[in-house]
Structure 1
Amino acid sequence: MPLGGIISASGMIPAGVIGTGRIASLLEEDPLREKPCTHAGALVATGRCTIVGGADHDEERRRLFSRRWGAPGFSDPLEMIRATAPKILVVATHPDSHERYVAMAAREGVPVVVCEKPLAHTMASARRIARIEKKGALKILVNHERRFSRDYELVRDALRSRALGSLLGITATLFFGKNQPHHRVLHHDGTHLIDAIHFLTDDTLRVRRRVGAVRGRRSSVFVHGVLKNGKLPVVIEVGSERDYLHLEIRLSFSSGEIRLGNGIFSWSRSEVSPHYSSYRSLQELPRLVPEPTGYFLGMMNEAVALAEGRQEHSRSTAADALAALRVIHEASRRV
């Protein structure tokens, strides 16, 4: 009998992981990150899942995964799926293999796939994954984890309630170290940034023009766009030559401003200026980043709800991830 069938009968959801590297498991050892911060860590933290296997072509990573999570290692993902019958399958491999494993999961009857971002390495592949989801063969949850983070949820609520007035524009910044070319940063981490903008605004970005060389490594490239429904301007800066990591979204309102990002959670309101007579200035409001934000655990709790049939669709579908990749594709083409 498949291992997954035995565990499922005990009330726990069997979960398998394809790709046992950093985001799947290894980053759980990082002492500075909010926990859980990996797929395996989040599966265990739900209290509803048991890890029945980890598949990876790298023997050392399989060994570390098995030792850390007490689950057998497999060199062949298909063998793992057939031996353990997971109800949740995590695909944490390179983007060029996502389609292959999502299609494999659909053929083998896996009901829920948690897929790493970006959804795929090409638009064509991403569209095919979205079609698999649309056909209803399985439910896909893409790891754009900011959709499940309490700080982003609070900002989204503020937009909906107009707590700081009307949203008038968005500027965003993404730096990912000194030597990364712009197109790589845009594709691998710009997906987070763009998807977060889509999530916060309930809208979709459309690219109007690009300034700078998207395949360059010098200074910055700027992407100018507009929200499709709200018609509001958006400017995204992706830069190199900075010796630090930085992701920030700045939302400008008629009566204030919110800055949100990695280690950033700042709210300001228009008040009578303490600096200039007859003017108003932004005064920072006492806001703290919610702790914990629950970004990874919230995502995996939703995977559990999908597997148990308590929820029909995820908050981070393949269609959502495709929309983010479409923006990147448009930005890469425009001059």
Structure 2
Amino acid sequence: MIPVLLIGLGRIASLLEKDSFRNHPCTHAGAIFSTWGRKKFFLIGAIDPSEERRNTFCKDWNIPKEACFPDFKSWAESFLFNLNRKDFSFISQERYKNLESNRKNIKFVSQTDWEVPVVDFKNTNFVHSSRKKKDRDLTNRPNYQNSARIQKNVDVSEPKKMETFQEKGLQKQVPITKDYFQNNNEFIKNLFLKNKKSFELTSCLVIIATPSETHYELTKTAIDFGFRRLLVEKPVCHSLPLARKLAKLCKKTKTNLWVNHERRYHPLYIQVRKWIQEKTFGPVRTIRASVLTSARDPGRAILDKTGPLFHDGTHAVDLLIWYLGMPDRVVSVLRSYPHSTVEEQALAFMTYPQGETVFLEAGGMRNYFQFELDIQTENARFLVGNDEVRFWKSKPSRKYKGFKSLTPVSISEKSSAGSNPFLNLYDSIFRYLSGKPSSITGDIEENLQILTLLDTIRRKAEKRILEV
């Protein structure tokens, strides 16, 4: 079985399972705790700074509260406490020997540094309760020393409070200390002992399902701690420079990092890619890709500080790169309101070396959500999206003698891989980590291409201001 550490307990991590309209499982927790997943994975901890989300997660999945932690350092301290008790073997023998002599490489804060959290999940639901400046840009945040220690230039305009648990019926703060973990670690201890086999940090899977502006810090913290297998939500980072730094770190540490663009694991999108790659219906001529939504309603693209191009358009750009590779020319336009930090609409016209042409729209100030790829090849047309799937082939016309017309043809969404993208994703990960043939895709290098194209569209765009 694969040990799993889940960081972030929001929508894509767990909460979307309550959406009755979706194909379940539709979250990371849903896949892990499914009948199939429970035979392949087991949870070693869940992290989220929101006490409400931790409580909801425990209630939804019938998990003891001791399995959830407010931040990475709290989980790490529990981990190291159990390690020092030698209740079970977490890490490799070599790392265990060097633990005391080279303890600084474990990358966790000392108790004197616990006044400031290692990572603040920076959106409305994730911000640490004591932080005053909620909207600081990631690039302006203080650098971390040893991945977890905060430098002196952090804002101290008001006292920072330690992340605490509230004693029942009291307002007294209970600090997270060695005594706390000694009283509350039996659940975690039993989890590992139940699985009997000891494991190394490098055998664990870390899932990072948090706002994109936290991805770099959290991923770096996990890698510095010793993890070497990570699944990160899209986009891998909210800027190209950070994605490049992360790619270098992964290469240096030999870390496997995958990004969850879930449509890569949907059998229909896989089938379309096969047709394109093999030119089953001739070469692609034109693709119209659209991810239509509103930056302000429900507003996640604004809360995430990325805008609809990065927040939503990444899904379309991912498939375009997966299908066609990188374009050789990009012309783009961004429309935004005065003084807005994100665009309302992103438009791009792209051409490719083999003659393909792509039109992309993200955002667009729509009062609805729609994801759609309209792919036209020499002899067929595929319309695939969230709302419908349609397929036409070129056949002799019934209206015009001597001509050909597009004729509707039925298409199945089922395949031997199964129809659920999340189960297919985790099956691919499990097979890869078990040393079996796997269709795993979406590594850090592929996602560098995605970020490069998104950055090109944004950076080279003609900026237009919308009237209020």
1:35 to 21, 24, 47: 24
Higher mean alpha-carbon deviation, 87-96 vs 312-321, is at 312-321
Alignment of 1:262 with 2:386, yes or no, is yes
Q: Separation in 2 of the partners of 1:142 and 1:320?
A: 9
Which residue of structure 2 aligns with residue 285 of structure 1?
409
Partners of 2:23 and 2:236 in 1: CA distance = 24
Residue 281 of structure 2 corresponds to residue 164 of structure 1: yes
**Structure 1 residues 231 and 273, CA gap change in structure 2 (3 angstroms):** closer
Cα distance in 1 for partners of 2:76, 2:230 equals: 12
- Does residue 111 of the first structure (1) align with residue 228 of the second (2)? yes
Question: Does the C-alpha gap of structure 1 residues 59 and 136 become closer, same or farther in structure 2, counting only changes over 3 Å?
Answer: same
Structure 1, 117-126 or 68-77: larger mean CA deviation: 68-77
**What TM-score do the two structures reach when normalised by structure 2?**
0.64
Bigger shift: residues 176-185 or 271-280 = 176-185
Alignment partner of 1:224 is 2:349 = yes
Indicate how the Cα distance of structure 1 residues 159 and 25 shifts in structure 2: closer, same or farther if over 3 A, else same: same
1:82 shift after superposition: 5.7
Cα distance in 1, alignment partners of residues 295 and 234 from structure 2: 22
Give the AA of the match of 1:224: F
Does the 8 A contact of 2:205 with 2:230 survive in 1? yes
Structure 1 pair 109/216, CA: closer, same or farther in 2 (3 Å)? closer
Please tell me whether the aligned partners of residues 285 and 355 of structure 2 are also in contact (alpha carbons under 8 angstroms): no
Tell me if 1:294 matches 2:420.
yes
Aligned to 2:70: 75
Q: Kindly indicate which of the two structures has a greater share of residues assigned to strand.
A: 1
C-alpha displacement of 1:105: 1.6
The worse-fitting range, judged by mean Cα deviation, of 12-21 and 301-310 is: 301-310
2:319 maps to 1:196: yes
Give the number of aligned pairs. 320
Stretch of structure 1 that moved more, 144-153 or 165-174? 165-174
CA distance in 2, matches of 1:264, 1:327: 27
The counterpart of 1:323, out of the listed 449, 457, 467, is: 449
Q: Does 1:134 align with 2:256?
A: no
SS of 2:315 mapped into structure 1: helix
> Among the aligned pairs, what percent are the same residue?
27
| Counterpart residue identity of residue 428, structure 2 | E
Indicate how the Cα distance of structure 1 residues 101 and 271 shifts in structure 2: closer, same or farther if over 3 A, else same. same
Between stretches 283-292 and 269-278, larger displacement belongs to 283-292
Distance (whole Å) between structure 2 residues aligned to residue 170 and residue 270 of structure 1: 17
Contact map agreement 1:159 1:167 (CA 8 A) in 2: yes
2:366 aligned with 1:242: yes
Question: Any conservation in 1 of the 2:208–2:231 contact (CA below 8 Å)?
Answer: yes
**Maintained 8 Å contact 2:307/2:343:** no
- Kept after mapping to 1: 8 A contact 2:374/2:381: yes
Q: Is the 8 A contact 1:139 1:306 kept in 2?
A: no
Aligned equivalents of 2:384 and 2:47: distance in 1? 36
Structure 1 stretch displaced more, 291-300 or 99-108: 291-300
TM-score for both structures, normalised by structure 1: 0.87
Describe how 1:1-20 pairs up with structure 2 within 5 A: 12-20=1-9
| Distance across 1 between alignment mates of 2:75 and 2:438 | 26
Structure 1 unaligned segments of length 5 or more: list them: 1-11
Answer whether contact 2:429 2:438 (CA < 8 A) is retained.
no
Distance 2:208 2:363 in 1: 29
Residue 167 of structure 1 deviates from its aligned partner by: 1.5
Structure 1 CA distance for aligned equivalents of residues 310 and 358 of structure 2: 18
CA contact (8 A) 1:88 1:303 kept: no
Q: 2:315 corresponds to which letter in structure 1?
A: H
Task: Give SS of 1:160's match.
Answer: helix
SS for the counterpart of 1:213 is: strand
Which segment drifts farther, 251-260 or 168-177? 168-177
* CA–CA distance in structure 1, aligned partners of residues 347 and 382 of structure 2: 21
What CA RMSD, in Å, does the superposition of the two structures yield over aligned residues? Answer: 2.4
Name the SS for the 1:288 alignment partner. Answer: coil
- Contact persistence 2:3–2:41 (CA under 8 A): yes
Distance 1:294 1:272 in 2: 36
Higher relative contact order (CA 8 A, sep 6+): 1
Q: Which runs of 5+ in 2 are unaligned?
A: 80-89, 91-200, 337-341, 463-468
1:223, distance to aligned residue in structure 2 (A): 0.0
State yes or no: 1:213 paired with 2:335: yes
> Would you say 1:308 and 2:425 are equivalent positions?
no
Query: Equivalent of 2:58, from 66, 73, 79?
Result: 66
Q: How far did residue 322 of structure 1 move?
A: 1.8
Q: Decide whether aligned partners of structure 1 residues 230 and 97 sit closer, same or farther in structure 2, where only a CA change above 3 A counts.
A: same
Query: What letter is aligned with 2:247?
Result: A
User: In the alignment, what sits opposite 2:121?
Assistant: none
Q: Residue 48 of structure 1: which of 40, 44, 61 is its match?
A: 40
Shift of 1:283: 0.6
Change (3 A) 1:313 1:113: farther
Distance 2:234 2:359 in 1: 22
Change (3 A) 1:263 1:114: same
2:220 is paired with a residue whose SS is: helix
**C-alpha separation in 1, matches of 2:439 and 2:279:** 27
Distance 1:276 1:185, change over 3 A: same
For residue 57 of structure 1, the aligned residue among 28, 44, 49 is 49
1:323: how far off?
Answer: 1.1
Q: State the alpha-carbon separation in 2 of the partners of residues 107 and 299 from structure 1.
A: 25
**Secondary structure of the structure 1 residue equivalent to 2:335:** coil
